[in-house]
Chains A and B, each alone.
Chain A
């Protein structure tokens, strides 16, 4: 049975083929062909993934070695794929949600010209390919290839409309922020090579227990730096909201299926090392929690429909890191999954709204879209309920699992986490109420053109809405039913080593857990009712003032970064350019040139052309030689 798993390379290969076909044939393929290829390879990949998932579910797991990738001295890095519960689950999320987004894109991007349409799908396929490589990689180096691949593709897709300078700047920002994180990841990989002599997951984790805590803390912190870049955590999160410059389905792809989950996946994969380094765990938890709350406060005052969703992604990613930090690895992966469903749903819903509104993104100019866009409205509402954490929607189960684990670690985590969750509910329903309820506030022309989106856009919405509603039932917590958490059972082999290492915690009593759930759900419901009540009739039209202005301007983080990093860097560059470069380096180089020229001009005079003088010099030379000879001996 296990040799069936050796065909796992099919999963990433298919999107790569799609990328090659669409990328090379972009000038002569018709849109229909591009759509069929682009979506077809993803669908095929998804079907294959389901097959492998079923196989893994029966208990198979394997490391498939394809060929030797790097061999240098004692170090050997094979090109290997790891097929187990964690990677197969991510395969399903990536290819499944990815396929829906591809399908959606066929309608959303229809206005583009043929070549650009094909370019878009080529990038999209490459993106999925990179992400599959990332999660399938059997060692840190293969993971790093995918890691860089998604960074590149995000750059290409955020800057897809490359004629707009702002979009290009957003793309560059994403790339540079990611590169900062990648440096941490790369250093961690080098350190792992130096310590373990191997980068394969199996070997590294098996030997991790023998290493000192200080080394593991260093390695895990560096890995976490990589994760903060890729998964948009403080301090490297600012690229993600700017990434809204890309087409909306790309935002959905980045936020839900690929890219930002990479950091979560990497830490979940390296769970043994993190469990052995408690300091790193605390750092992860604190950074995650801080990001969750920080981003949530910003989201409250944003007026761009995509910006709100972007900050909510940053915030939700913070929850996932909180889960990882307190040792709730299953909870974090569970939240990745449910988040993929409802965040893809929300983004695609937002895309549908933007499509209907002719690229209007400011929610202040919307309102009352409920009647005109019934399917979008309903699915968006379901997504909002799911992300707000109302039972029995999917977001409730995963968020509750993380919060319960946080309470076990420290009640302070829980209080802050619930505060963040309440803000989540508030800003999501502020968004919902302002967009879909009340009266229409756009121009008459926009109102005239309002229309429900074509089937290629609504079908993914419906599928994702169903998943967002029922997706939580794979992880029913123990208080409701023993052994009903099928996801935990499925993932248990991955986290078994960590579970052993984690000291026996006294599980929360059922009454406490019910109480915690009740409080968080109650607060979320309160926030929802308050938001709907307040914003459906009278949305915030004027610009925020006072503290609200600080939030609307994202705590001025971009400005602060610019002031403490950007501006000094520019000043230093200017100094180096004007002083060091011009008078130092240029002076040195030019000085050498001028010196040589001057010296040769003087030496040239010796070549008088007079035979007599040559002979005289020759004789003088001989005499000098003789004198030297005479005295030296």
Chain B
């Protein structure tokens, strides 16, 4: 499958994520949109990694060149999981304080 198909999918996912963050007010949905952007990037990393690996193996069988990005994706997923837990905790606290998860209530910085 040509690489640009992957790029289109990732781009679409990323744009959906950005649009979601900008337009939605529900904190959880915004959160999910952030994850969407994150995973769009993951998808790109994996796709390019596979592409480089394929060309490298064709030239020299047995090489591991180009696989590091796939490993990197695991790290991103782990960090994202940790971040999700922190983020959800914040949302829980926010709900406890304001009885709402509408981020428009989070305008205290202004005052």
Residues in chain B near residue A612, CB distance under 8 A: 22, 25, 103-104
A611 within 8 A of B: yes
**Bound complex: CA A609 to CA B107 (Å):** 5
| Contact B103 A619, beta carbon cutoff 8 Å | no
**Bound complex: CA A592 to CA B22 (Å):** 38
A574 CB to closest chain B CB (Å) equals 51
Beyond the given A619-B18, A619-B21, please list 14 additional residue pairs across the A-B interface where CB-CB is below 8 A: A607-B109, A608-B107, A609-B111, A610-B104, A610-B107, A611-B103, A611-B104, A611-B106, A611-B107, A612-B25, A612-B104, A615-B21, A616-B22, A619-B22
Residue positions of A touching B, CB distance < 8 A: 607-612, 615-616, 619
Residues in chain A near residue B107, CB distance under 8 A: 608-611
What are the 4 closest A-B residue pairs judged by CB atoms, nearest first? Answer: A609-B110, A609-B107, A609-B109, A611-B103
What is the interface of chain B mostly: helix, strand, loop, or mixed? helix
Residues in chain A near residue B109, CB distance under 8 A: 607, 609
Chain B interface residue count, CB cutoff 8 Å, equals 12
B108 within 8 A of A: yes
Residues in chain A near residue B18, CB distance under 8 A: 619
Residues in chain A near residue B25, CB distance under 8 A: 612
Residues in chain B near residue A608, CB distance under 8 A: 107, 110
**Bound complex: CA A607 to CA B103 (Å):** 16
Residue positions of B touching A, CB distance < 8 A: 18, 21-22, 25, 103-104, 106-111
Q: Enumerate 23 A-B pairs (CB-CB under 8 Å) in ascending A order.
A: A607-B109, A607-B110, A608-B107, A608-B110, A609-B107, A609-B108, A609-B109, A609-B110, A610-B104, A610-B107, A611-B103, A611-B104, A611-B106, A611-B107, A612-B22, A612-B103, A612-B104, A615-B21, A615-B22, A616-B22, A619-B18, A619-B21, A619-B22
**Bound complex: CA A611 to CA B27 (Å):** 11
Residues in chain B near residue A619, CB distance under 8 A: 18, 21-22
**Bound complex: CA A616 to CA B20 (Å):** 11
B7 CB to closest chain A CB (Å) equals 15
**Bound complex: CA A619 to CA B25 (Å):** 17
Q: Which residue of B is nearest A608, CB measured?
A: B110
**Bound complex: CA A609 to CA B21 (Å):** 16
**Bound complex: CA A612 to CA B109 (Å):** 13
Residues in chain A near residue B104, CB distance under 8 A: 610-612
Q: Which residue of B is nearest A614, CB measured?
A: B109
